[in-house]
């Protein structure tokens, strides 16, 4: 598994755990499997650094990328497969979008990806030359007492959302579960009703099957804040 995929899964686990009130437990796992492993934590940090705008000059960005490649090559072979397997077991085998595909391609040892590696190098160089993203007031997670790497990990994931989605998610996480749980029941019923209507109106058998699968998934899901957030977005897009 590419390290970028593994890191993306870790970020997903941490974000979901924050919504599910199991964040402290997952922080312990992060510390055990990532932070306390010198080489894995080094790659974790390296990916974050390459993924962050730094307002570098073109020449310095080029040198930064070259040094990052050296650091990766000097580190990856020191990591035991058994240590990576422990992380894989922790984060599970769910399919997830690789948020670090560009960096993974840059670090790839496949000689058939030379052209792709050059394109990724240019993309990263352009990103490193951009001004750092200014923090937006009102969307910071309350993680000041938590592990700093975990803080950066979750914020990296949330930075991929639109500004309106960030604010909505942060507002949602601060609401009372008992109130949201009641809303969730009504929301789920509304989504199932709308999907059923769409299924009945469709004459495409493939579309009907997809809608039926979605209905089954919605019905089977239990309440948590992240599921509520996703279901709300689904209803708005139907």
pLDDT at 150: 58
Q: What pLDDT shows up at residue 14?
A: 85
Whole-angstrom distance, CA of residue 145 vs CA of residue 192: 40
Q: Determine the pLDDT at residue 50.
A: 92
**Res 137: pLDDT:** 46
Q: b vs e for 37-75, b when ≥16 Cβ sit within 10 Å of the residue's Cβ?
A: beebbbbbebbbebbeeeebeeeebbebbeebbebbeeb
pLDDT one-digit tens code per residue, 112-158: 678 888 999 999 999 999 987 655 444 444 433 344 555 555 566 56
Within 8 A by CB and 6+ apart from 224, the residues are: 16, 19, 20
Residues of the chain with pLDDT under 50: 136-147
**Tell me, what's the pLDDT at 124?**
95
Q: Are 172 and 229 in contact (CB under 8 A)?
A: yes
Strands (E), the chain: none
């Amino acid at each position: 598994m590419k390290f970028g995929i593994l890191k993306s899964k870790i970020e997903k686990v941490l974000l979901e755990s924050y919504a599910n009130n199991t964040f402290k437990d997952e922080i312990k796992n992060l510390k055990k499997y990532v932070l306390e492993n010198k080489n894995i934590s080094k790659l974790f940090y390296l990916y974050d650094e390459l993924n962050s705008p730094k307002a570098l000059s073109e020449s310095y960005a080029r040198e930064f990328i070259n040094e990052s490649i050296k650091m990766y090559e000097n580190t990856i072979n020191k990591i035991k497969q058994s240590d990576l397997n422990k992380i894989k077991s922790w984060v599970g085998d769910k399919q997830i979008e690789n948020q670090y595909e560009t960096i993974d391609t840059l670090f790839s040892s496949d000689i058939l990806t030379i052209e792709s590696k050059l394109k990724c190098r240019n993309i990263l160089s352009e990103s490193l030359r951009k001004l750092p993203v200014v923090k937006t007031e009102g969307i910071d997670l309350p993680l000041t007492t938590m592990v700093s790497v975990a803080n950066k990990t979750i914020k990296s994931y949330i930075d991929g959302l639109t500004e309106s989605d960030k604010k909505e998610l942060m507002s949602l996480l601060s609401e009372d579960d008992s109130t949201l749980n009641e809303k969730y029941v009504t929301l789920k019923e509304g989504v199932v009703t709308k999907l059923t209507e769409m299924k009945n109106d469709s004459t495409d058998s493939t579309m009907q099957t997809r809608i039926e699968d979605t209905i089954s998934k919605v019905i089977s899901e239990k309440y948590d804040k992240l599921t509520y957030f996703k279901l709300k977005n689904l209803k708005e897009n139907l």
